[in-house]
Amino acid sequence: MARLAREDVNMPDFDGFPIEKQVPEAKFEAATYELLRTVPDVRVSNLLYHRIPVKYHSQQNQVPQDIAGRRMLLFNASKGVNNVWHVLSEQSKVCIAVLNVKYATLMCLDNSSQTTGAHACGTL
């Protein structure tokens, strides 16, 4: 299974995160998958390969002919059933949505304690 970034650093008028920010994030994500594989109680996909985006400086005004400007992660496909959202009950979907909101709020609060001045996530 492959996960390919939507944004391409080689697109004309690219306005996403700069390559200088994407490279350490891609490396961190790959290292996180490798680290989590060593924790027995954490189920994580097996990362086979990762590639950081490559910035071409010679093609600033041309649409790229390849996908080198996108970060990519390749995983072993997990066994089991995928795309089960449509078979969940409405109550199960609500529970998952509530858990996601609680998690996002906790992450936001945790990040805001590391910043100074205004709350990092705005008004909760």
In a structure prediction context, what are the per-residue pLDDT tens digits for the chain, which is 124 residues long? 888 888 888 888 888 888 888 899 999 999 998 998 888 888 888 899 999 998 887 766 788 888 888 999 998 877 776 677 778 888 888 888 887 787 677 766 655 554 444 434 443 3
38 SS3 class: coil
Task: Supply the pLDDT for residue 76.
Answer: 86
Domain ranges of the chain: 2-80, 81-124
Task: Supply the pLDDT for residue 72.
Answer: 92
Task: Supply the pLDDT for residue 49.
Answer: 93
Given a contact cutoff of 8 angstroms between Cβ atoms, the answer to whether 10 and 55 are in contact is yes
Among 35, 45, 31, smallest CA distance to 82 is for 45
Task: Supply the pLDDT for residue 116.
Answer: 45
Conformation bin of residue 91: beta by default, left when phi > 0, alpha when psi is -120 to 50: alpha
Task: Supply the pLDDT for residue 59.
Answer: 63
